[in-house]
Structure 1
Amino acid sequence: MFRKSIQRLAVRHQSSVAKSAPRPLSNAYVGKLETRWTSLPKEDQSALIDSLKTRMELPWQELTPAEKKAAYYISFGEWGPRRPLYGPGDQAKVVYGVLGGIFASIVIYAGIRAISAPAPATVNREWQEASDEYLKSKNANPFTGYSQIQ
């Protein structure tokens, strides 16, 4: 007799029926969590995570679809360190910024060239050839060419 009562208590203690199952979370509490997760205070976020943890200790068939979606979002959603670096319109901003920078640099370069003095006469080809001939005749550059014996 005593043995049977202990067995009943052991079975009741091990069964999931004897445990008080946490109640399902309301759809208003866990529904559309993706849109409002970042605006929730940290205390509410941690409370929601704790309540979902207690619900997920049950078999997954007992969870509501909203609870499953909320658990998935909390575990794998785009928040915290998994938030994307760039938003939906940021690519266009980057492209327009780069193109604007290139255009501005071209305009600045052309403006500087327009207001600068003309090139000196020593830059043209004839001047360079004449100076090369003069250096060859004077053996002016012994290290790289003009006066080396071939």
Structure 2
Amino acid sequence: MSILRSLPRTLPRVATPAIRSYASAASPSISVTSTRSNASAPALANIEASWKSLPAEEQFEVYQQLEELQKRDWKELSVDEKKAAYFVAFGPHGPRAPTMPEGNTQKVFLYTAAAVAAAFGLFTFARSRAKGPAPTVTREYQEQMTEYMRSQNQNPISGVSSEGYKGKGMVTL
């Protein structure tokens, strides 16, 4: 069993996927502490800074290592291991990488402010060219409509023409 435990550490970095899958399939009970080399401990300590410079193969190895670490009790993990696990899972890389280049925030703000100012200017111009309120919006007109509804006996069950009606009728102002 000691040969199987040392197998993942002795694999070359450019090992074929078949050898890697054999190594991981042959020793599923290997604990993470025994497979972790001293070189990977500093990598986890500063994973945020070194993640982009790591080749995809090493990123996958770190991901697998952290996946195994997370299967243990979280109280046993070091702070660096917890930070690395969080960064790999939720950090600003891959599909979560910022898509807006640096310095575009001001440009977006200025264009948005210009669009809002243009819309406000167009609204103000349209309001200045519009006529006043319609004659049917006045209180006198609405009171006359209520009286007309009463004279026509409209809605005699629950409306303006009903007995004991205490509503405002057509008056909305």
TM-score (norm 1): 0.45
**Higher RCO (CA < 8 A, seq sep 6+):** 1
Largest Rg, 1 or 2: 1
TM-score (norm 2): 0.40
